[in-house]
Structure 1
Amino acid sequence: MTRGTKALISASALKNNFQRAKQLAPNSRVWAVIKADAYGHGSVAVANVLHDADGYAVATLGEARTLRAAGIKLPILLLAGVTQAAHLSEAADSQLECVLHCREQLAFLERLDSRETLKVWLKLDTGMHRLGFSPEDLQEAVSHLEQCANVDVVGIMTHMCCADDLSQPQITERQLKVIRGSQHEDKQISIANSASVIKWPQTHADWVRPGIMLYGATPFADISAREIGLAAAMTLVAPVIAIKQLAKGESVGYGMRWTAGRDSVIATLAIGYADGYPRHAPDGTPVWLNGKVVPLSGRVCMDMMMIDVTDLPDVKVGDLAELWGANLPVDEVGRYVDTIGYELVTRVSPRVEREMVE
């Protein structure tokens, strides 16, 4: 038996969000980005729901292994390639597509020992300066790979660094100019992340790579997921396990950070920072309970947290609180705790049971 703390994953929300990406980029194929265990939602379960994708994109070879072991047959893209030469053969044998972004990875290919053809994408650094070949070095990399046996250079990709900041369109336009000047007619192009899918149709190209939008969160600081037409895929819930009556002046939790300014009722929830809820969340961070928003009160503990339910009558042990989800956007919680929805959902720990619901 679990303690009732769960991440409820909505299949209908995932499908809605995927279809929204398809509506926005109707002429592009879709790499559904399910790295980091599908942003905390469960990679195998999400892959099985998003079976209409053209392929899946992950960050590590281990993530790809998990999908293949579960019987996932669609193409899988390793977004940062491999870090060891020996892994290229496994990538080829597992029919993975591999991003190459540096000279050292090119050298790995000289030791490729596989009868399978390895499909590769070359990463072009258009200005983010994280990964990728410079425009000056790209042609040399293409020429080198075309001389390698069992290697098929299928495409060129880049990553947008400021597509989520609509106040700086010149940066995205500059990046687009770089990749347009580096195109090869026989190579596929992939540019667009979630923000680009939503707001930069000129980036859509042959393949788009939606990530956070698939899970119903927004990549933008000032545009909500609802405005984009997205639905929350994860609803994180935890039960009330205790109710305390506090007199005015009494305090709650470690460090006695929160003190009652009136006679108060405090409910304790079975969730804490070991479950992935941020310890640094301040007093007042919203929690949804019984149809209303109530405030976090006191420091988040390893396994528990407290909320002020003084103005919420009839709360009882066993009631389920929503930490974020269908009623309380994860992006709103993120603003309170000075982070983004991406971090909150990916940090939900393995001990929180994931349950796929319709």
Structure 2
Amino acid sequence: MTLTRAAWIEINLDKLVNNIKSIKSLVNENTLIISVVKSNAYGFGVETIVETIHDIGINHFAVATLNEAIKLRNKFNSIDILVLGYTPNYLFKDAVKNDIALTIFDKKSAEELNTTASLINKKITVHLAIETGMNRIGFNADEESLKIIQDISKRKNLYIEGIFSHFAAAGENDEYTQMQYKRFIDFCNKLADMGINIPIKHICNSHAIISYKEYNLDAIRPGIIQYGDTDGLESRFEGFNIEYIAEVKAEVSHIKKIKKGERVSYGLKYEAPKDTTIATIPIGYSDGIVRQLSGKIDVLIKGRRCPQVGVICMDQMMVNVEGVDCEVGDEVVIVGSQGEERIDVSELAQKAGEVVTSFGCHFSDRLPKVYIKNNQKFKLIDYTQGYTEYLY
């Protein structure tokens, strides 16, 4: 393997597959899994992630935007793709031509999408978003919306395949989540009473899949849970096991001795309390190790925790390696395991004041991605160079 940079991210597809299997074990056999792969599959490389998940029988995928959907369609002809967010009317034609299912949450968009599809002589699949308490997008769960959806259901070039809502505090506020679910189900039942039977009802996101199994309905939308984050909720289910699929690594690029009182990095915020040894690591906030972590985290070198010191730079950061027998070129683990030590991504996310979902999305495409399959490194992708190397 020829690494194109001395910092990289390793993504374990074996763990991804096992995570999907664990998710499947929580739901009924007939429950549809709509794999959420927005934001470049949460930063892990959407094409390889989708290919892996598709290979184990998942055919439905969801993204946030139409450009994400078209990127997938250009690679995968046969999968079903749903855009969960807003699509402006000037992009409707692209959605119809590429067989992308869109989310609809207002009458005007539905009418314009129907007109666009009719001009192309095609029928487009839509899912209806229902507002139940997130207050983001969706038809209000009221009588006016029932009438609007009844009108939409008569449009000849729209196929209403699904209807969904989104929990705002699954796993955090049971009472509010129960209220949202009841509001959603009551609305769906009223539609059914009007003769509008929508095949796929879905409301469960990652945390809800674990916490409210009875709410899984016709489909579920696993997102960050696929990649290994449950915020500790896996303890609620005996035998449920998932693992974070990524490790972030680098190499030591420079080592130097500094005297007591010398300063390190921008702003002179770190002052050496005694004579010590500083190693430079060629990874920084532009790669996803956000500046808020400055002086708060450790890295692993030679199986030991070494504290990061000074302000994290755009492309580099410094760590104190006093007493560690290391040299230039040695492996550094920022997220992952080395020896008997481990640094979880949740540790970094917590210290940055973020959730794992957002923290993983920070990992830049400047970091080459090394994919592991069948316990072997099998593919290297460097997006900055458009370079892919298959290793076996």
TM-score by length of 2: 0.85
CA–CA distance in structure 2, aligned partners of residues 248 and 72 of structure 1: 62
Map 1:57-136; keep pairs closer than 5 Å: 57-83=62-88, 85-112=89-116, 113-136=119-142
User: 1:282 touches 1:336 (CA, 8 Å); kept in 2?
Assistant: no
- Deviates most, 53-62 or 323-332: 323-332
Deviations 1:57-112 (A, max 9, x none): 001111111111113521001001411x2322322222221111223422322432
Deviation of 1:284 after TM superposition, in Å, equals: 3.0
> Is 1:349 the equivalent of 2:360?
no
User: 2:7 touches 2:282 (CA, 8 Å); kept in 1?
Assistant: yes
User: AA paired with 1:256?
Assistant: L
CA–CA distance in structure 1, aligned partners of residues 81 and 234 of structure 2: 32
Equivalent residue, structure 1, for 2:328: 317
Cα distance 1:104–1:288, how it changes in 2: closer, same or farther (>3 A)? farther
- Deviates most, 233-242 or 282-291: 282-291
Equivalent residue, structure 2, for 1:10: 12
Partner SS, residue 101 of structure 2: strand
Query: Could you list the runs of 5+ residues in structure 1 that have no partner in the other structure?
Result: none
User: AA paired with 1:345?
Assistant: G
Partner SS, residue 293 of structure 2: coil
User: AA paired with 2:365?
Assistant: P
User: 2:252 touches 2:327 (CA, 8 Å); kept in 1?
Assistant: yes
Deviation of 1:323 after TM superposition, in Å, equals: 1.6
Equivalent residue, structure 2, for 1:39: 42
Cα distance 1:17–1:138, how it changes in 2: closer, same or farther (>3 A)? farther
CA–CA distance in structure 2, aligned partners of residues 235 and 198 of structure 1: 24
CA–CA distance in structure 1, aligned partners of residues 28 and 336 of structure 2: 28
User: 1:15 touches 1:49 (CA, 8 Å); kept in 2?
Assistant: yes
Equivalent residue, structure 2, for 1:285: 297
Partner SS, residue 247 of structure 2: strand
Alignment match of 1:193 (pick from 205, 227, 230)? 205
Map 1:172-321; keep pairs closer than 5 Å: 172-183=177-188, 184-185=191-192, 186-187=197-198, 188-219=200-231, 229-311=241-323, 313-321=324-332
CA–CA distance in structure 1, aligned partners of residues 296 and 330 of structure 2: 20
Deviation of 1:237 after TM superposition, in Å, equals: 1.0
CA–CA distance in structure 2, aligned partners of residues 271 and 53 of structure 1: 35
User: 1:285 touches 1:337 (CA, 8 Å); kept in 2?
Assistant: no
CA–CA distance in structure 1, aligned partners of residues 77 and 351 of structure 2: 38
User: 1:164 touches 1:219 (CA, 8 Å); kept in 2?
Assistant: no
Deviations 1:1-55 (A, max 9, x none): 6222111111111111111211112342111110000000011110001012231
TM-score by length of 1: 0.93
Deviation of 1:221 after TM superposition, in Å, equals: 8.8
CA–CA distance in structure 1, aligned partners of residues 120 and 226 of structure 2: 34
CA–CA distance in structure 1, aligned partners of residues 153 and 293 of structure 2: 52
Cα distance 1:164–1:292, how it changes in 2: closer, same or farther (>3 A)? farther
User: AA paired with 2:128?
Assistant: L
CA–CA distance in structure 2, aligned partners of residues 212 and 236 of structure 1: 17
How many residue pairs match? The answer is 354
Cα distance 1:223–1:244, how it changes in 2: closer, same or farther (>3 A)? farther
Deviations 1:167-197 (A, max 9, x none): x210001001101101144212110100001
Partner SS, residue 349 of structure 1: coil
Cα distance 1:174–1:220, how it changes in 2: closer, same or farther (>3 A)? farther
User: 2:130 touches 2:139 (CA, 8 Å); kept in 1?
Assistant: yes
Partner SS, residue 182 of structure 1: helix
User: AA paired with 1:59?
Assistant: A
Partner SS, residue 127 of structure 2: strand
User: AA paired with 1:69?
Assistant: N
User: 1:282 touches 1:337 (CA, 8 Å); kept in 2?
Assistant: no
Deviations 1:233-259 (A, max 9, x none): 121111110112122222211112112
Deviation of 1:280 after TM superposition, in Å, equals: 1.9
- Deviates most, 39-48 or 22-31: 22-31
Identity, in percent, stands at 28
User: AA paired with 1:303?
Assistant: D
Cα distance 1:105–1:298, how it changes in 2: closer, same or farther (>3 A)? same
> Is 1:339 the equivalent of 2:343?
no
CA–CA distance in structure 2, aligned partners of residues 189 and 320 of structure 1: 47
Query: Could you list the runs of 5+ residues in structure 2 that have no partner in the other structure?
Result: 374-392
Q: Indicate the RMSD between aligned Cα atoms, in angstroms.
A: 2.2
User: 1:55 touches 1:74 (CA, 8 Å); kept in 2?
Assistant: yes
- Deviates most, 125-134 or 327-336: 327-336
- Deviates most, 183-192 or 122-131: 183-192
CA–CA distance in structure 1, aligned partners of residues 59 and 220 of structure 2: 10
Partner SS, residue 181 of structure 1: helix
Deviations 1:184-227 (A, max 9, x none): 44212110100001111122111100101111123469979xx9
